């Protein structure tokens, strides 16, 4: 009888535990991106994070000095250990640097039958520098995108995944076309991050925030959904306080003025996974992630961490006030 009561208490405690995310990603020794950024994001959003390390990097705010990929079998062994012990509500993938790792992770995800999968296809920096070979990019398209609830490529990654050469800035119209093309691979939603709003595109969009000055850099994240809806996310994000979004919701606003943008993509995709784990539908998860990212960027504006051009975000702004 006592054993039954203890088992019942244990089961109830598990049921009342926090949502859980598995982060399958690379480590950043500088603490600003990769697993370190993702763990801090999940913690800030009230979600417990587990992880499977795919690569170890030697990097800081100045640059990346070395990358050591882990064997696919050991990446899967880490995933096995997590799935064997935790009720995983969502998975987020990041740096998967080889075909073998991509295929191994995809096989394990198919066996796990997880409710929400966020694929951040870390194949290319926003600058256009490519991290992986063409075969790995094709493996991501064939193996991971069909499993995804949401994929979150930056502008350069969207061009590569869409079969295009990486060319400078990406207009909102081109980002919409690429997002629609990537939907054909099977995800429920695509977010193309970092499109630039052209002067000729502005009249069709609702402006949020201070009036736009000539020459202002306006960054827009373009979302496309499997049901055919299209939306854009802008800073500042107002999604949580507005009425429900119409099917086509096009908004733009000024970029956050801060040098501290290292790990922005990892933070956003981890926030989407955290919101999915907490029970949000894809669109609400994306919008909630944008709200968090916008606030973390603004809180980081006065930080002075590292000697490089791009410092880290302030992930824990709700709980700590670091000196400038």
Predicted TM-score (pTM) of the model is 0.86
Cα(155)–Cα(292) distance, integer angstroms: 21
Query: Domain residues of the chain, as ranges?
Result: 23-194+260-300
Predicted confidence pLDDT, tens digits, the chain (324 residues): 555 544 444 444 445 689 999 999 999 998 888 999 999 999 999 999 999 999 998 988 888 888 889 999 999 999 999 999 999 999 999 999 999 999 999 999 999 989 899 999 998 876 566 778 899 999 999 999 999 999 999 999 999 999 988 887 888 889 999 999 999 999 999 999 988 776 565 545 555 555 556 666 677 888 999 988 888 776 544 332 233 344 455 455 556 777 777 888 899 999 999 999 999 999 999 989 988 888 888 888 888 888 888 878 788 877 766 654
* Terminal-to-terminal C-alpha distance of the chain: 58
Identify the pLDDT of residue 215: 62
Identify the pLDDT of residue 52: 98
Residues of the chain with pLDDT > 90: what percent? 48
Q: How many CB atoms lie within 10 A of CB 3?
A: 7
Q: How many CB atoms lie within 10 A of CB 110?
A: 12
Residue 284, φ and ψ in degrees, nearest 5: -65, -35
Cα(252)–Cα(236) distance, integer angstroms: 9
Cα–Cα separations (whole angstroms), residue 219 to 128, 152, 161: 17, 15, 20
CA 14 from centroid of its chain's CA atoms: 27
Q: How many CB atoms lie within 10 A of CB 151?
A: 31
Sheet of strand 90-93, all strands in order from the earlier edge strand to the far edge: 64-69, 48-59, 20-28, 90-93, 116-119, 150-151, 189-196, 219-225, 230-233, 248-249
- Cβ-based neighbours of 141, under 8 Å, separated by 6 or more: 161, 185
Q: Return the CATH number of 23-194+260-300, one of 3.30.70.1450, 3.40.50.1860, 3.30.365.10, 3.40.1190.20.
A: 3.40.1190.20
Cα(231)–Cα(247) distance, integer angstroms: 8
Q: CB–CB of 210/256 below 8 Å?
A: no
Q: Which residue has the tokens 């993509």?
A: 265
- Cβ-based neighbours of 247, under 8 Å, separated by 6 or more: 228, 229, 230
Instruction: Compute the residue count for the chain.
Output: 324
- Cβ-based neighbours of 109, under 8 Å, separated by 6 or more: 91, 117, 144, 147
CA 220 from centroid of its chain's CA atoms: 15
Residues tagged active-site: 193, 261, 263-266
221-235 pLDDT, tens per residue?
889 999 888 887 765
Dihedral of the CA atoms 138, 142, 143, 148 (nearest 10)? Answer: 110
């Amino acid at each position: 009888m006592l054993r039954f009561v203890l088992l019942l208490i244990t089961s109830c405690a598990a049921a009342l535990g926090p949502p859980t995310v598995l982060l399958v990603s690379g480590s950043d020794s500088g603490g600003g991106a990769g697993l370190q950024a993702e763990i801090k994001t999940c913690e800030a959003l009230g979600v417990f994070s587990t992880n499977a390390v795919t690569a170890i990097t030697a990097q800081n705010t100045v640059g990346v000095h070395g990358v050591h990929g882990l064997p696919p079998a050991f990446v899967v062994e880490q995933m096995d250990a997590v799935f064997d012990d935790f009720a995983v509500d969502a998975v987020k993938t990041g740096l998967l640097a080889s075909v073998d790792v991509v295929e191994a992770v995809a096989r394990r995800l198919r066996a796990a039958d997880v409710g929400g999968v966020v694929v951040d296809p870390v194949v290319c920096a926003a600058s256009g520098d490519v991290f992986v070979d063409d075969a790995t990019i094709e493996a991501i398209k064939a193996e991971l995108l069909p499993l995804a609830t949401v994929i979150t490529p930056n502008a350069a990654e969207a061009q590569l995944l869409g079969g295009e050469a990486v060319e400078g800035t990406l207009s909102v119209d081109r980002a919409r076309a690429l997002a629609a093309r990537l939907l054909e691979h099977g995800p429920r939603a695509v977010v193309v991050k970092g499109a630039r709003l052209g002067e000729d595109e502005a009249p069709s969009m609702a402006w949020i925030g201070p009036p736009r000055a000539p020459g202002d850099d306006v960054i827009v994240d373009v979302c496309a959904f499997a049901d055919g809806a299209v939306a854009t996310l802008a800073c500042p994000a107002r999604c949580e306080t507005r009425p429900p979004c119409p099917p086509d919701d096009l908004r733009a606003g000024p970029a956050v003025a801060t040098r501290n943008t290292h790990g922005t993509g990892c933070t956003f995709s981890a926030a989407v996974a955290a919101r999915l784990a907490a029970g949000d539908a894809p669109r609400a998860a994306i919008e909630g992630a944008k709200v968090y990212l916008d606030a973390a960027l603004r809180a980081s504006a006065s930080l002075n961490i590292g000697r490089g051009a791009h410092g880290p975000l302030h992930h824990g702004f709700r709980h700590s006030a670091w000196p400038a």
